[in-house]
Homo-oligomer: A and B are copies of this chain.
Amino acid sequence: MAGNTFGTVFKITTWGESHGKGVGVVVDGCPPGLKLDESVIQPFMDRRKPGGSIASTRRKEPDTAVIMSGVFEGRTTGTPIAIMMVNKDADSSAYKPYADLYRPGHGDITYDAKYGFRDWRGGGRSSARETAARVAGGAVAGSLLRAFGVHVRAYTVALGGIIADPAKMTGDPDQNAFRCPDHDAAAEMEKRVDLVRKQGDSLGGVVEIKATGLPAGIGEPVFDKLDADLAGAIMSIGAVKGVEIGSGFAAASKTGSEHNDPITPEGFSSNNAGGILAGVSNGDEIIVRAAVKPIPSISIPQNTIDRSGAPATISVKGRHDISAIPRINVVCEAMTCLVLADHLLRQQAIVSSIFNKPEQTRRTHGTNP
């Protein structure tokens, strides 16, 4: 109820703070017999690690994932899988000056309001470092999904106002530093980041997540709709301010005849639905987009108050990213994997006891609008 557990059948519980002893995750509900060792998890940790682009922090955490339980002779046993990453490069001294100040755009003020005090070192539990545990858990979920033929990838479709065209994607979206499928846009993004860094400012953007291979029939009416759970999952990532599925906000200005995806024997002719109808997957690609706000830690001076309520000025100097993108992309993938793995298993709970065999499910590879 304190909110550190996510999922229903495939479930993770995370722990850890930015400058504590480490961060970790307990994965509960993973089916037994799945091949798993650290080599499955580490590549995802590495994609989240700082240093991948000029937009990222200079803190150096190896984020070496260690599996503590739940795996025997290279396979999951069906019991809890604990994974831990020890903190190596926490430097709390840089945060000492802000211990009594509220950094604008951060959770300092709200954590104090909620808990009465806070671990100010590196943002404590509100730090994006917490997402390392999500990525470790998401890596296990992703591995399970691949065994079902489901693949999830996230890529950058906007950064600092520069819009990329996802239709230009050829192969791995991680080919450039911004994990942007549109190489021309990526080049523009690099210039923009370079400029803003010099200004001591930061940037937001948009990430798109695509899941392929998900069968129709996944998702639970009425509150645990697949899109509802995806929206909650993505919005639970610190920097996200908006989530849309398929056509998203563009749907608001369309007519029904424009927006409905026609159905043919070969599948859907378009994918405004983003692969979800009435909260249940329709066999098409799942398309989710996340609006990411600019990193709130900037060196430009800002007005704030201290813990006593007195006015103050703050200039945040630590080792911060310029943008949560592209490191956040793998976090978006992780949360998507967690939702899809959970709902696949939820459907299994009823599907093998369906007394009236379901229709053959239908699939399509309709293009994303």
Contacts and interface: CB of A to CB of B under 8 A. Distances in A.
Given A125-B221, A277-B109, A252 B204 contact: yes
Contacts of A356: 32-33, 75, 116-117
Interface string A334-363: 000000000011111111111111111110
A126 B302 CA distance: 49
Contacts of A75: 117, 355-356
Interface in A13-41: 13-17, 20-24, 26, 28-29, 31-35
A1 to B, nearest CB: 5
30 contacts: A2-B29, A2-B80, A2-B220, A2-B350, A4-B79, A4-B222, A33-B115, A68-B84, A75-B356, A78-B114, A105-B273, A113-B281, A113-B359, A114-B280, A158-B252, A160-B255, A199-B255, A201-B255, A204-B252, A241-B245, A242-B252, A248-B291, A251-B291, A251-B293, A255-B298, A259-B296, A263-B303, A265-B310, A307-B359, A345-B349
A211 to B, nearest CB: 15
A105 B261 contact: yes
Contacts of A260: 104-105, 296, 298, 302
Nearest to A349: B349
A350 B345 contact: yes
Interface in A42-80: 66, 68-70, 72, 75, 77-80
Given A223-B236, A359-B307, A351 B352 contact: yes
B4 A8 contact: no
A127 to B, nearest CB: 9
Interface in A302-355: 302-305, 307, 309-311, 344-355
Interface stretch (A166-174, A180-188, A226-234): A226-234
A130 B126 CA distance: 31
A347 B263 contact: no
Given A232-B232, A355-B34, A277 B20 contact: no
A116 B14 contact: no
A16 B305 contact: no
B232 A292 contact: no
A225 interface: yes
Contacts of A147: 353, 355
A204 B248 CA distance: 11
A138 interface: no
Contact of A355 (B33, B225, B250): B33
B241 A355 contact: no
A292 B253 CA distance: 9
A241 B235 contact: no
A49 B110 CA distance: 39
A368 interface: no
A115 B77 contact: yes
